[in-house]
Amino acid sequence: QMQLEQSGPEVRKPGTSVKVSCRAFGFNFTRSSIQWVRQHAGQRLEWIGWIVVGSGNTNSAQKFRERLILSTDMSTSTAYMELNSLASDDTAIYYCTSRGPLGRLDPWGQGTLVTVSS
């Protein structure tokens, strides 16, 4: 069964960084593309970016481009999202998900709550 398992909740101060992990089970990680999406409380889903695992190519929304690092470790089938220069508006649940044909997103990780507070 295809599954993504994310790391636990994080609390950070403004100006610092956070790194969220996403481990894949039950599918060929090296042939996948992992996307990251976030959701502020009660708000719509917001696409952050993606990484093509095999090539390492990345793409991200313009608003994140200067402070986002997407990476993978194929030896552990794990993807990482690092977001720098955190601000209070980065407080949200962050999801990883796998991109399939026609751009469908499935499966999804359980989500990681990142709280940015002084």
Partner 1 sequence: DIQMTQSPSSLSAFVGDRVTITCRTSQTISGYLNWYQQKPGKAPNLLIYGASDLQSGVPSRFSGSGSGTAFTLTISSLRPEDVATYYCQQSYSSPYTFGQGTKLEIK
Which residues of this chain interact with partner 1, rule CB under 8 A?
Answer: 35, 37, 44-47, 59, 61-62, 95, 97, 99-106, 108-111
Beta bridge partners of 4: 24
Is 73 or 106 the residue whose CB approaches partner 1 more closely?
A: 106
Q: Give me the least distance between CB of 63 and partner 1, in Å please.
A: 9
Is 38 or 72 the residue whose CB approaches partner 1 more closely?
A: 38
Is 8 or 101 the residue whose CB approaches partner 1 more closely?
A: 101
Q: Give me the least distance between CB of 61 and partner 1, in Å please.
A: 4
Is 2 or 74 the residue whose CB approaches partner 1 more closely?
A: 2
